[in-house]
Amino acid sequence: MITAETIGRIIGYHGGEMPVVSLYVAAGREGAPALPARLRGLLHEIRPLAWDGSLDRRARRSIRADIERLEGLDGFAGSGGLAVFCCSEGDLFERVPLPRPVRDRVMVAATPWARPLLAVLDEYHRTCVAVVDRRSAEIWELYQDEMTGLGRVEDQVPHGPGHLGRHGPAGDRVRNRADDPTRRHYRTTVRMLDQLFRAGDRELLVIGGRAEAVSCFACFLPHRLRARLAGTFEVDPRTATPADVRRGAEHVVERYERAEERRQVARVLDLAAAGRPAALGPADCLWAASVAAIHSLLVQEGATAAGVVCDESGWLAASGDTCPLCGRATRPAANVLGELADAVIDEGGTVEHVLADTELAGHLVAAELRFPLPPRPSPAAAASG
């Protein structure tokens, strides 16, 4: 699991005079060359820098050592891809398994190129899971398909049957006093949750337990935690295993994510219907990415489309042998929607892959824009330029 500490080390690192090599490589894909061949191809792109006389001798030595180390990368089964950040002379080597596939690419700069990494992680919610009853609470974190224990809260006051054995007004007073430890326990648990949310980057809260206890505990949540509540699930805290808790929490998060996707799609469709800056379908979205107009992109999960790319100007389109912006020859892209997502990330936008059943399925892609789209250039523009 990618931790906040790892991310902090990466984005906070500066090599000074020493260059940092940032490498992204996907796990095995159907029809793709084997990992060693793909690594050789990527590293070939930066190999000339290892002998570039314009660079400091120590910097060239660092790049050569980085290339040698990266050539020896082994497989990484179980992940969608891998990001590696290294600077041999600066004592940096971070190997980060990624939960989603990424495009193979490499960059050399003064700082780690972390934008693609952060874009992948943006699609995963760091979730705090509280399994509660009247006397105890177990706190977990669910993130990237892994669950980690964060702590346990125990009520130390006994709840014997004698506390609840009377009837009538006097008995009600006894029951209220007997409930005081439960209320204190719930408040203690809420304080722990509040501290966890204030101290970290957790986004969602999920509560599990018996229905009555969950309902009662939720009443103690302050507004700031109630706003993070993604949902609840029923489980017996006395017999539930960590696997039971994980399954229950994952179902809640999945429902939340599908609902959030539907809200995002509805928002972009509403913007388009109102004539505000938005793009629907590959043609408009590809042009929007070509002029760096996309603030957030929605992609139907599994959608693909062939197209073309100009590596000089960044122009993306469904077809065209020549770029209308610079006149250079384009290259074919088997899945131009993947190139589209990468272009949005490189320009600081966000990308959301939508699994929910929405109207996006008819468009494949949609985007909220930073500004209205300018007119598309005609094919003759490049020729006349």
What pLDDT digit, counting tens, does each position of 210-241 carry? 999 999 999 999 999 999 999 999 999 999 99
- The values of phi and psi at residue 242, to 5°, are -55, -35
How far apart, in whole angstroms, are the C-alpha atoms of residue 132 and residue 235? 9
- The values of phi and psi at residue 233, to 5°, are -145, 155
Res 272: pLDDT: 97
Question: According to DSSP H, which parts of the chain are helical?
Answer: 4-11, 35-46, 57-71, 115-121, 168-199, 211-218, 223-226, 242-273, 281-290, 336-346, 360-363, 379-384
Res 177: pLDDT: 45
How far apart, in whole angstroms, are the C-alpha atoms of residue 316 and residue 311? 9
Which residue positions in the chain have pLDDT lower than 70?
Answer: 1-2, 4, 28-33, 75-79, 156-179, 379-385
Q: What is the largest CA-CA distance in the chain?
A: 95
Res 118: pLDDT: 79
pTM, 2 dp: 0.73
How far apart, in whole angstroms, are the C-alpha atoms of residue 267 and residue 128? 27
Helix/strand/coil percentages in the chain, nearest 5 = 40, 25, 35
